[in-house]
A and B are shown apart, each in its own frame.
Chain A
Amino acid sequence: MSIGTESLPMIALEFKSSTLTVPVLLLANNDLVTIDQQLQNKVAQAPEFFKNSPLLIDFQKLTAQNLLITVSEVIDIVRQHGFMPIGIRGGSEQQNAEALVMNFPVHNLLAQKTEQTEKKIEKTLPTPEVENSLTQSQSIENKLITHPVRSGQRVYAKGDLIVTATVSAGAEIMAEGNIHVYGSLRGRALAGVLGNENSRIFCSDLQAELISIAGTYQLRDDLSAYAPHKPVQISLENQKLIIKDI
C-alpha cells in the first residue's frame, strides 16, 4: 500500500509524440569511394554545421534501381565525417534486416509522409547541401494538375497524381503512386508504374481508353459494363483489376 501512495507524486517518465527536422542523406549511387569523397567535399564547405549532426540515411533511390550497398559500411563512412546516423529508410528487406541486427533503427517511408504535414509549420534549418526531409521531397512526390490534360499530352508523377480537370481521349497520365481524377477520365491512366501493386485509381467519371495498375491493364471494351458519370475506385487484387463504386 505504501508503494502506491508514494509513487503517485513522482512520475518518472512519460511518452509523448514529437516531430523534429533531421537532415536526410539521399544516396543515388552505391559506390562507397564516390560517396566518401563527395561527403568530404560537402562537409568541408560547412564543417561546424555538420559536426555531430543527426542524419537519416535514405536508400530509396538505390532500391528503385536495385543497387546494392552494405548498411554497416555506409554508417561507418558517415560517422567518420562527424555525423551521428539515427536510422535508415527506403532500404530493401535485406538492408532493413541488416540494420535491425545491428540495433540500428529502420524508419518507414510511409510514416514519414504523415509526419511531414505536421512539420510544415516548423521552420526548417538551412541545409543547402544535404537534402532536407520535408519541403523538397513533398513537392517531388505528388503532382496536382488543375487544367485539362489534352489529347497527346503526357503527365508523370513520382508519387500521387491528382487531376481536378478532364483527361481527354488520347492523353496519358502516369503515376508511381495513386491517381485521382475529378473530371472525366477519357484517356489512359496508369498507376503504380514502378510496380506498386497497392496503388489505386480513383475517378469521378470512368470513360478511360485504358486503365492499368502495376502493369495489369484493362481496355475500354472491358470497361463497358461500368456506367460512366459514377465515382469509382480501381484496385489490384490477385493480378486482377477490381472496379468498385465509391
Chain B
Amino acid sequence: MARIIVVTSGKGGVGKTTTSAAIAMGLAKRGHKTAVIDFDVGLRNLDLIMGCERRVVYDLVNVINNEATLNQALIKDKRCDQLFILPASQTRDKDALTTEGVGKVLEELSKDFKYIVCDSPAGIERGATLAMYFADDAFVVTNPEVSSVRDSDRMLGILSSKSRRAEKGEEPIKEYLLLSRYSPDRVKLGEMLSVEDVQEILSLHLLGVIPESKSVLNASNSGTPVILDEQSDAGQAYTDIVARYLGENKPHRFIDEEKKGLFSKLFGR
C-alpha cells in the first residue's frame, strides 16, 4: 500500500507546489516509486515547476471521468525514472473533482506506487478538502507570519475532523510542520515569527525549516525541483526533510537532533 502525503497550508503562496515537487523528487531519488498529483484544477502549476508542461496530454479530471487511463495521464519524469506526475486540468474547475473519482484514482495508484504526494490548492474548499481527504500524512507548509500560521491552524482542524481517517475513526493523519521562507536575520530583528513562536502556536512536530532563498525562484522558472540544486540551502533543506520523513517511522528523537543539526548548518549558530 502506498503512503498518501498531502502538502497543504490553507494560505496561498507559501510554497506548497515547490514543496510537493521537491519532496516527490527527493523520495523518488531515494528509489521509492512516487507519484505527485496536482489538485489545483483550473490553476495548474505543478507541471511548470516539474518542467513537464509540454508533455501534458491527459489530466486528473480526464482520468476521473474515464476519458483516459491512469497510464495515459501519468507523465514519467525525465530526470528520475521512479517519479511520475499527474497534472491538473487547466480548462475545468474544482467541481469536476468528486470524492469517489479521487478515491478511485488514489486506490489504483496505491497498487503500484510507494508514495503519492498530493499538491493541495490554497483555501479550504473542494479541491483542498479532497486533496487531504484520503491522506495518511500531512505536510503543513507555513510561513513565519501570523496570517499563514492561523490558516495552517484552521487547516489542521479540518485535517483532524474531515478526513477519511477521522470519519472512519482510524488513527489520525500524521501532521508535520514545514516552515518555509524562513529568514533568521529578520527573526532576530523581530520582523518575523521564530520557529519557537510558530511551534508554540501550532503545537506540531517540526519536520524542517526551508530558508528564504533565491534558488527557489530560479528553480521554479527553469522547471527543476529545487531539491536537485544540491548547492543551494533550500535544496539541502528539502533533502534533510525527506531524510527525516523516511526516518520518522522509527524513533522520534532523530527529528530533534537533526533539527539542531540543520539549524547550525544553515544559520551558522
Which A residues have a C-beta under 8 Å from some C-beta of B? 147-153, 165-166, 168-171, 183-184, 186
Contacts and interface: CB of A to CB of B under 8 A. Distances in A.
Contacts of A165: 203
A171 B176 CA distance: 21
Given A151-B157, A152-B153, A169-B201, 11 more contacts: A148-B203, A150-B160, A151-B150, A151-B154, A153-B157, A169-B153, A170-B150, A170-B153, A170-B154, A183-B203, A184-B200
Contacts of B161: 153
Given A165-B203, A166-B203, A152 B154 contact: yes
A64 B157 CA distance: 32
A11 to B, nearest CB: 58
B46 interface: no
B156 interface: yes
B143 to A, nearest CB: 16
B203 A152 contact: no
Contact of B157 (A152, A183, A186): A152
Interface residues on B, range: 10 to 19
Interface in B91-150: 150
Which 10 A-B residue pairs are closest in the complex by CB-CB distance?
A150-B157, A151-B153, A151-B154, A153-B157, A152-B154, A168-B153, A150-B156, A152-B157, A150-B153, A148-B203
A193 to B, nearest CB: 21
B158 interface: yes
9 contacts: A148-B203, A151-B150, A152-B154, A152-B158, A169-B150, A169-B153, A170-B150, A184-B200, A186-B201
Contacts of B203: 148, 165-166, 183
A3 B157 CA distance: 76
Contacts of A148: 156, 202-203
Contacts of A169: 150, 153, 201
B136 to A, nearest CB: 18
Nearest to A165: B203
Nearest to A149: B157
Contacts of B158: 152
Nearest to A169: B150
Nearest to A150: B157
B203 to A, nearest CB: 5
Nearest to B157: A150
A147 to B, nearest CB: 7
A147 B158 CA distance: 13
A207 to B, nearest CB: 10
Contacts of B202: 148
Nearest to B159: A150
Nearest to A147: B160
A169 B153 CA distance: 9
Contacts of A150: 153-154, 156-157, 160
B171 to A, nearest CB: 13
A168 B202 CA distance: 8
Contacts of B201: 166, 168-169, 186
Interface in B12-40: none
A131 to B, nearest CB: 25
Contacts of B154: 150-152, 170
A185 to B, nearest CB: 13
Contacts of A151: 150, 153-154, 157
A169 to B, nearest CB: 6
Of A148, A149, A152, A183, chain B has the most CB atoms within 10 Å of the CB of: A152
A170 B203 CA distance: 15
Interface in B159-182: 160-161
A100 B208 CA distance: 68
A21 B48 CA distance: 70
Of A168, A170, A186, chain B has the most CB atoms within 10 Å of the CB of: A168
Contacts of A149: 157
Contacts of A152: 153-154, 157-158
Contacts of B156: 148, 150
Contacts of A186: 201
A166 to B, nearest CB: 5
A161 to B, nearest CB: 17
